[in-house]
Structure 1
Amino acid sequence: MSKKRGLSLEEKREQILQIFYESQDFFLLKELEKLGPKKGVISQSVKDVVQSLVDDDLVMKDKIGTSVYFWSLPSCAGNQLRNTRTKLESELANCRKRLSELTGQRDNLKKGREESDEREAALEELEAVELQHKKLKEELACYADNDPAALEKMIFLCFFGDITEDATEVAHAAANRWTDNIFTLQQWCSTNFPQAKEQLEHMYKEVGITDDFEYLQ
C-alpha cells in the first residue's frame, strides 16, 4: 500500500486559512499549532506556514502586551487578490505601452533599409572594407616593435620612469632655469672676452646652443 502523500505548501496555506475563516477569531501561535494537525498540517510546520501568509498579507498579526495574535477574514484575501490584480494590470499596461514604443522604433529603423540590390551591394562593400581594415590592423601590429614613437617612449620610461603632471612641471621649470643660466654665462663671456666672440659662438654651436636656442613654453 502506497504511503499517503503530505500536503504541499499551498495546500497547507489553504488549510490554515480555513481555520481563520471558519472561526473568524484571533489566535496565538501555540493555538494554531494545536489546530493545525486537525487540518493535516503538522504542528512543527504551522509557524512557517503562518509566516508565509503574513508575508503575503493574507493573515494579520499584532502584538498585544506580551502576546502576538494572528487573525484573518475572507475579506483580507479578497483585498489582497484585488491589490494583486490591480498591480498586474498596471504592469501589463506598461508592458503594452513599451511594446508599442519599441514596435514604432523598429518600424522607423526599417525605413531606408528595405531589401534591394543597392543595399545588398553596399553591405557587401562594407563587409569587405571592414575585413581589409582588420587585416591592415593585424599587419600593422606586426611592426609595432619597430615604431619609432614607441621606441622613444620605451627609452624615455627606462631612464625617467612614469612622469606625473607635478614632476613634468618641476622638470619644465628646471629646464628654463638652466636656459637662464646659459644666457647669463653667455652674457658674462661676451662682456669679459669680447675679442673671442667668434671662438665662443663656434663653441656654443658645437654643444648645441644655436641661434634658435630659447626658453621652453
Structure 2
Amino acid sequence: MSKRKGVSLDEKRLRIIQIFHEKKEFFTLKEIEKIASKEKKVVVQSVQDVLQALVDDGLVQSDKIGTTIYFWKFPGESIAATERKIADTSKKIVEAEFKLQKLKEEIQKEKELKKDTEEKRNLLEEVERLRKKEQEIKKQIAKFSNVNPEEITEIKEKAQRYKDLVNIWTDNIFAIQSWCRTKFNILDQDLNKQFNIPEDLDYME
C-alpha cells in the first residue's frame, strides 16, 4: 500500500485563501484551523505558519481587536495589491530608463569608456531583475481566475505596458552597443565580454 502524498506548501496556501474567498468573513486563528482541517484537509499544526506567511506576503489581512487577532481577505484586495506592485515596478523601469539615457549622453560626450563599466553592468542586472518581477506578477494575475474578467483585462494591459518599457530599455542598451562599435571599432563579442552583456539579450515577446 503506497503512502498518501502530503499537501504541498503552495497547495496549502491556495486552500486557505479559498476559505476567505468562499466564506467572505472574518476569522480567528482557531476558526481558520478548524475549517482548514475539516473542509480543506490541511493539517492543523501547519495552518498558523501558512496563514502568517500569507499575511507577510500581503495576501491576507490581519488586525488585533481587543485581545483577539482576526484574519480576512476579500477578492478585490488581491487586484489592488497587484496593481500597486505593477505601478511600483513600472516606476522603477522609468527611472532606470532615465538613468540609461543619461549614460548614453555621457558616452556621446566621449568620456572614457571604461569609466562606465560598473554602471552598465548594474543596468543589465536591473533589466534581468525587472523581467523576473514581471513574470512573478503574471503568475499572481493567473491566480485570479474568479475575479471579474474586465479587471483581469485591465491588469494584463498594465503588464503589457510594463513589458513595452522593458523593451525600450533593451533597445537603449542595443543603441549603446552600436555606438561603441562605431566609435571605438570594438567587436560585439569583445564589447559583450568586457561589460558582461549576455549574448542572448533580446526583446521580450
Normalising by structure 2, we get a TM-score of 0.49
Larger RCO (CA within 8 A; separation ≥ 6): 2
* Larger Cα-atom Rg: 1
